[in-house]
A and B are shown apart, each in its own frame.
Chain A
């Protein structure tokens, strides 16, 4: 069975600082992995996805994530945080039948 664990329910960074949101997965088959972002009062939208083409995946708004099979990780990073990055971020893995299994979410706060 597939599962996802996000380390840290809240992360706070200063504007301009590095953003690092951690995600570890468990999967019995080669995984497809996703990061979604949820802005206040909105639905989720896709930031980026890993589908085995390349281990370093670039997404929207300057975010990227690296798939590390040996560490079963898919951490999300952004070199320089912006105030507009404040949101909740969800890591997800593709489960059986094409369903997505989500992590618990990490709320990112950005301080001026």
Chain B
């Protein structure tokens, strides 16, 4: 089983619908992240969490919200999806013991299409 699991892997929805992307991890890491990947733009940070009680906005948080239900679970919600939120979304974790040199461990991605 993957260390970082994202569900669903693929989702097609309509404008205005509420969508939740879920992420769970078995690595025991405190830090979790949600990134969005768009062609030509690389990965951009949406939200991140350094522990259950700590939630921070990234560079493109507008239109998104998150919930850190437990150390192992971090969900991303689109309250009212719009077409320009069509993208590939990645969840990632890191070990705070590594400090700034710690690598990120990524899930396999959730491809979201908003019609």
Q: How many residues of A contact B (CB 8 A)?
A: 24
Report chain B residues within 8 Å CB of A51. Answer: 101
Does B74 have its Cβ within 8 Å of any Cβ on chain A? no
Residues 91-107 of chain A: 1 if any B CB is under 8 Å from the residue's CB, otherwise 0? 00010011111111100
Inter-subunit contact A43/B41 (CB<8 Å): no
Q: How many residues of B contact A (CB 8 A)?
A: 28
Interface centre among A34, A90, A94, A98 (most CB of B within 10 A): A98
Report chain B residues within 8 Å CB of A43. Answer: 4, 90, 106-109
Inter-subunit contact B42/A90 (CB<8 Å): yes
Binds A, one of B61-69, B79-87, B92-100: B92-100
Interface centre among B4, B94, B104, B107 (most CB of A within 10 A): B104
Inter-subunit contact A97/B108 (CB<8 Å): no
Inter-subunit contact B33/A99 (CB<8 Å): yes
A-B contact count (CB 8 A): 58
Report chain B residues within 8 Å CB of A55. Answer: none
Inter-subunit contact B101/A44 (CB<8 Å): no
Bound: A101/B58 CA distance, A:
10
Residues on B close to A: CB < 8 A? 4, 31, 33, 35, 40-45, 48, 50, 56, 58, 90, 92, 94, 96, 99-104, 106-109
Residues on A close to B: CB < 8 A? 6, 9, 32, 34, 36, 41-46, 49, 51, 90, 94, 97-105
23 A-B interface contacts by CB (under 8 A): A9-B40, A34-B103, A41-B108, A41-B109, A42-B108, A43-B4, A43-B90, A43-B106, A43-B108, A43-B109, A44-B90, A44-B104, A44-B106, A45-B106, A49-B101, A49-B103, A97-B50, A97-B56, A98-B100, A99-B33, A101-B45, A104-B41, A104-B42
